[in-house]
């Protein structure tokens, strides 16, 4: 049962470090560290991503998206992908904030403003 404190937790108030700590605690309580090898975690990200894709597999691209709540099956799959991503970053010693900032710098160079993006294929 969620506590009142849990209801105040949101993307606006919780840090990546706090979420990594939640994942670390969950893993340690179950002694799962031995299973959390980079290969296994990367595969788990791919598997959970495929489960997320299933929710959109046969949707019509012209169909407007319905609001998706935090408890929806789609949100659950997003959370699975995110949880494994957090854990893999922790195992590999990757600072996700720094990695994302650097990746966005590279994307700004690769996709400059004012240049039309044309997908390949």
39 burial level (CB within 10 Å; 0-12, 13-18, 19+): exposed
H-assigned helices in 1-121: 4-7, 16-29, 38-54, 73-92, 96-110
- At residue 94, what are phi and psi to the nearest 5 degrees? -90, 130
Contact 95, 69 (CB under 8 A): no
pLDDT digits 0-9 by tens, 33-51: 999 999 999 999 999 999 9
pTM of the model: 0.84
Whether the predicted pLDDT of 32 surpasses 90: yes
- Interior angle at CA 74, CA 95 and CA 85, nearest 5: 15
């Amino acid at each position: 049962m969620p506590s009142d404190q849990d209801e105040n937790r949101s993307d606006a108030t919780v840090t990546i470090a706090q979420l990594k700590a939640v994942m670390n605690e969950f893993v340690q309580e179950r002694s799962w560290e031995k299973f959390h090898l980079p290969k296994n975690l990367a595969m788990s990200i791919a598997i959970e991503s495929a489960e997320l894709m299933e929710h959109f597999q046969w949707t019509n691209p012209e169909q407007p998206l319905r609001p998706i709540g935090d408890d929806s099956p789609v949100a659950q799959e997003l959370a699975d992908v995110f949880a494994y991503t957090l854990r893999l970053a922790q195992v590999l010693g990757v600072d996700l904030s720094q990695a994302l900032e650097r990746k966005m710098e590279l994307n700004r160079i690769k996709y400059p403003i004012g240049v039309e993006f044309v997908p390949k294929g």
